[in-house]
């Protein structure tokens, strides 16, 4: 049986371009190492280069770990990375109230944006899991 894909290899490599800031690691559900990469410029660029070869394994692990469903992980992450301070990713996930709050406060003064970098994959998994459970009833 084929696993349902949640994360895309091409998007992972696209985020790797910004990998010295940890973007690809956040995307694949590795917020701790993403934060380390952010503060050390991708482990002084050495870890960033090594990750070029590790991304396929990170993608496979993310596809096994997270739940597929109506909310697309890649689109939500693109919205978070480029428009996160405006809450567009939250509106996409159906979280309109917090999306508008982010819009009016620039991502709760940046702190909400950081929170979402750490938790977006889990937020989407909860939404997708609820939808899957609703459909199976």
Q: What is the pLDDT of residue 1?
A: 41
Pinpoint the alpha helices (H) of 4-110. Answer: 9-17, 23-27, 31-44, 46-65, 73-83, 88-92, 96-109
In order along its 137 residues, the chain shows pLDDT tens digits of 456 899 999 999 999 998 788 999 999 999 999 999 999 999 999 999 999 999 999 999 999 999 999 999 999 999 999 999 999 999 999 999 999 999 999 999 999 999 999 999 999 999 999 999 999 88
Rounded to whole angstroms, how far apart are CA atoms 46 and 101? 38
For the chain, the first-to-last Cα distance in angstroms comes to: 22
Rounded to whole angstroms, how far apart are CA atoms 10 and 17? 11
Distances (CA, A) of 121 to 78, 91, 94, 96, 104: 12, 15, 15, 18, 24
**CA 78, 123, 49, 57 torsion: positive or negative?**
negative
Rounded to whole angstroms, how far apart are CA atoms 55 and 52? 6
């Amino acid at each position: 049986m084929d696993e349902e894909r949640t994360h895309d290899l091409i998007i992972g490599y696209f985020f790797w371009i910004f990998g010295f800031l940890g973007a690809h690691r956040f995307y694949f559900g590795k917020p701790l190492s993403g934060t380390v990469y952010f503060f050390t410029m991708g482990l002084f660029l050495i870890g960033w280069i090594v990750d070029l070869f590790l991304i396929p394994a990170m993608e496979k692990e993310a596809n096994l770990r997270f739940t597929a469903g109506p909310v697309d992980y890649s689109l939500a992450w693109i919205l978070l990375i480029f428009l996160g301070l405006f809450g567009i990713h939250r509106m996409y996930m159906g979280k309109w109230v917090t999306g508008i709050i982010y819009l009016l406060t620039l991502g709760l003064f940046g702190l909400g944006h950081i929170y979402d970098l750490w938790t977006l994959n889990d937020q989407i998994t909860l939404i997708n899991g609820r939808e899957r459970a609703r459909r199976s009833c």
